Every structure is written in C-alpha cells, then in structure tokens.
Chain A
C-alpha cells in the first residue's frame, strides 16, 4: 500500500475497482449454493438492479428500504441502489412468521423516518412489504417492489456518477424504536472509513473475510462488505441466524474457506467458545478477529485465545476496536499484529472521580481493555462537560473528528446539532487516553447496550406505561453488567399496592414483544421510594448503582 495509492472516492468506484482486479475473487454466500460470485458478477447483478430501479421511475436522491432475506439479494440491492444514485437502507427481516406484527410495528418506524420511494422485498419475506408501507403511512408515496421481478437489463442503465460529497447510504442505528436515527454518510466519508479499515488491518490480496453480522449493522456493511470490496478479497457470508444456529458449521466453513478476518461483539466469540467445538480443526489462517460494539470482556479474550489457540488461533489476532455508525465504522483499534492488553483500575475512584488509579487489593477493581489508537484521518479528544480537553488518564466524553464523520441524522436537525458541534462528534461514550491509546469506560447517556444493540431507556419505559396497573411516570429502566449476568432491569411502582401480581409478567411480556429484549429483573417499589433528582426526575444511574450494590429493594 503505497501512500500515493489512488483510492476510490465513491462506493461504486470501490466496486468498479474490485471488478477490474483479482478476477477470480468474490463473495461466497454459504447459505445459498456456496458458489462464488466474482466481484465482476456482483457488479453486473448490481447494474441490472440499478436499471430496474430506473425503469420503475426511481431518481437519484430517493431512498430505497431493502427488506430481503437473501444475502445475495441484499448485496445486489445495496450496490444497485447506489449505482442508480438512490440511497439504500438495509432493514432486518422477521425471524418468525408468528411474530410479523411486532416486526412491522418496529420496522415501520424506520421506514417512516427514511421516507423511501421503494420498499424492496424478496420472495421469502414478500408479505411484509405492504403492511410496512401501510403502518409507516407511506401509501401513495412509496411502492413495494419484488427483488425477483424488477427488470434487470444492465445495457439499459443510464450511467450516473455521483459527487463524492453527496449521500451514499443511510444507516439506521440498531435497537432504538420510538425515534430511530438514520446516519447519513456521503461517498467521501464512507470511502475514507473503508480505507482506514483496510489500511489498519493491513489487508492483503490473500485475505478472506468471514462475516455473519447483518448488513443493517455497521460492522457487517462497512466492515465486512465494503472492507472486502475495497481490497477485492474473498468474502464468505452467512446470516446471523445461521451463525448462531450452527456454530460448528461456521467453524468448518472457517477452516475450509481459510478465513483470515472476522468481526463481532463479545457474544459472537462467546458463542464460538461454548458451542464451536473446534477440536481437530486447523484455524491457523485466522489472523484478525475484531471485537467491539460494546464494552469488551477481557476474560473472554483470555479464554477464547487459550481454547482456540490449540487449533491455531494466534493471540495477536484479537483486535479490540472502538467505533460507531456515525463515522461509518472504525475510530480506533490496536495494531493488526499487536496483542491486546488491559489495565486493572480502581472501580470506585474511576466512577466517582473520573480518575484512573491502578487497583489495590483492598478495593473493587475493573479491568478495561485498551482499544488502540486512532486510524488514519481520525482524531479523538476526551472532553469535560464544558467541552474542554481532559488530560491523559482522566475520564471524559469521547469526541471524534476526521474524514469519515457523518453529515448528520436524516431529517433530524435537532439530533444532528446535538451530536455534531464545530466539526466534532459527541459520542455520549466515556473514556480516557493512556499512552496514545483509548480506553472506553461506559456511557454518558443512559443508553442500554445489550449484545451489541442499543436501546434507549425511554423507549422501554414508554412501552411499560401501557400496562394498566403500573403507575405512569414511575418506571425506570437501566442496564446492568455484573459478572456473567447482563441485561435490563425495570423498577416500577404499582398504581394500587394491593394489585401487583400481574406486573412482573406484564413487564416482561411487553418489553419482549415491543423491543425483543429480555428483562433480567423487575423490582416493584412505591413511587416515593424510587430515587429522583431534587427536581423530581427519575435517576436511572442511581437506581443502577443501588441495584448493583444489592440495595435496591
């Protein structure tokens, strides 16, 4: 990688270059037929789809919501939409036919923010298109199109070359329900982050990416798909469901396809550790295992390295990293050949004073994994509440600037202005710098992160308000992570102290149904005993502290 390398500035430029180089390489969709689609074939499929969108009257600037179960359909639709000058948003698909209602209620909220011209569905999920459109209130302004039925004639394609500073993709942040935010990324910002990824990972032609993360997740789309496109390497894709359902099969695929690069949150490596059964396999090709999207569990790194080390996984493969959809994907990561490290600090002093002090035996400590230094064209600054920079070893809010910052949140000026100030992205994450390396310590906002997905406590609390026997305005939701158990805890006050028997079941049911989130614990207490600020606002952080100390009863 010479410094003078010409790096494409548009997403279709990345695909074009992939199609022109390394003719034999491409994507293997292991759930479909395990045949390889070369990058040239992918481009040709995508150009066909682009011509179809044009034939249906799609014009540059409009949005396309992609609701396809097939991965080849998703990849084709993603690139095809961009080639036609429209902006794709890839959405999840329903996991069960029995739960379509909840899926439609949840997903239509994203559709109503994205205001797409088309909802593109494929055969296995064709029945969700119309209900989504209806629930989002888009009838008359949006059409449901079937992926298989769109005309696809690349010869009829009207060429379109986007300005690198126009929108490439709108990526919705996962989990949130009532007010989903669409991260607007331009071609220039996407390609800048993709370049940072492949250079930081030192990707070479013989690398093979292995991905099972959904393409509606930044790690799946920007990391797996576009990262592979940018270096025209081989890419092996499966769905999250198939990865989770058949961990042993994934380990076999990793061996057979000689996969060298993977990415995922804690839970994915934990799953392979517990259910992957790698004995007798040869996974020595594996050289980069990115881990991020939530606080990294240092014990998991140790256990996984020990266990998978026996089948050739090098400890240096783990790459703890930090990033978020608002910059495409990556912000920091440890070097590709480095070994992860962690610091044991005093938990009390860290949480109360925001100072980093080495742990002593007499007090409780917390082990924090370093997530490395900044990738190219990216800067991190730790700031206090006034926006002034904090010195090394002092905790503050993580702010980011650089070439891959989002343009803002789609059609949401208020949220955009709050997040982007003077060219810096305020992440709401807390952390500190030490020797040029970032350490993430928690969240400033009371966002709940569960298995790599983000949930706003307000959404959970609002869902619970629908339960008749719960007192409105006396509901607190917070996330907890202690030992092996993590999850969301609900504190609620009954309307009538004599009528409490159905509350716990009701809370679990409504939170599972509306947010697809399991509840760890439900605590009932009188409204007056729930911790509040002097102005009467509920104190989620205080509730969590008391809960973790065992004093919230």
Chain B
C-alpha cells in the first residue's frame, strides 16, 4: 500500500542518520531501534512535511516519537488521503 511512502521515509532517515543506515528498516522503531534523538525525530517530521507537502499536527508529533517507520508511513498516507 504505502511502499512509495516507506521508501521515501527510509531515504529521509538515512539522510539524517547516515551512520545508522543498516538499521533503517520498515519495522524499526525510530528512537529505540534506529537511534534517532528527539531533535532528529522532529527534524524528520519537518523533512517529511516538506517532502510530501503535508502538515503533521503537533499532538501527533509527540506520539510519533517512538513509532516504527511503517507506523509513520501509515500516518503520512492518512494525511495524503485526507
């Protein structure tokens, strides 16, 4: 379903955290598995907004802190479909 979204997210994450590129997989959790710091997760949210032309509400940003890549992708897809 959201393969294209997942691929773009993975690219954006690798751009932010190149040294962890091996850990960037669809089912990996952003913070505890990929190792993004909270600042980097917020960076990612901004980059995602720019890449897809969407706006992710603040309340969701807090909840996305330790989402998996797939969960984030589903979230992005919902906003794209809305």
Contact = CB atoms under 8 A, between A and B. Distances in A.
A331 B38 CA distance: 29
Per DSSP, chain B at the interface is helix
B35 interface: yes
A98 B66 CA distance: 10
A247 interface: yes
A487 B65 contact: no
A512 B31 contact: yes
Contacts of B43: 244, 271, 274-275
Per DSSP, chain A at the interface is helix
Residue among A98, A511, A512, A516 facing the most chain B CB atoms (10 A cut-off): A512
B45 A245 contact: yes
B45 A98 contact: no
A95 B65 contact: yes
B37 A245 contact: no
A518 B30 CA distance: 10
A485 B21 CA distance: 13
B66 A512 contact: yes
A99 B66 contact: yes
A364 interface: no
Which 3 residue pairs across A and B have the least CB separation, nearest first? A96-B62, A512-B32, A518-B35
A274 B32 CA distance: 24
Interface in A241-277: 241, 244-245, 247, 267, 271, 274-275
Interface in A30-69: none
A511 B32 CA distance: 8
A297 to B, nearest CB: 15
Contacts, number: 61
A519 interface: yes
Nearest to B35: A518
Interface in A87-107: 95-99
Interface in B48-69: 58, 61-63, 65-66
A489 B17 CA distance: 15
A321 to B, nearest CB: 21
Interface of B: 19, 29, 31-33, 35-40, 42-43, 45-46, 58, 61-63, 65-66
A520 B22 CA distance: 12
A275 B62 contact: no
Given A96-B63, A275-B43, 9 more contacts: A96-B62, A98-B62, A275-B46, A450-B37, A451-B37, A487-B37, A509-B29, A516-B38, A520-B19
Contacts of B66: 99, 512
A153 interface: no
Contact of A509 (B32, B36, B40, B45): B32
A214 to B, nearest CB: 13
Contacts of B46: 245, 247, 275
Contact of B65 (A99, A267, A275, A519): A99
A429 interface: no
A513 interface: yes
B35 A97 contact: no
Contact of B39 (A97, A271, A511, A512): A271
A508 interface: yes
A386 interface: no
Contacts of A271: 39, 43
A505 B37 contact: no
Interface in A327-359: none
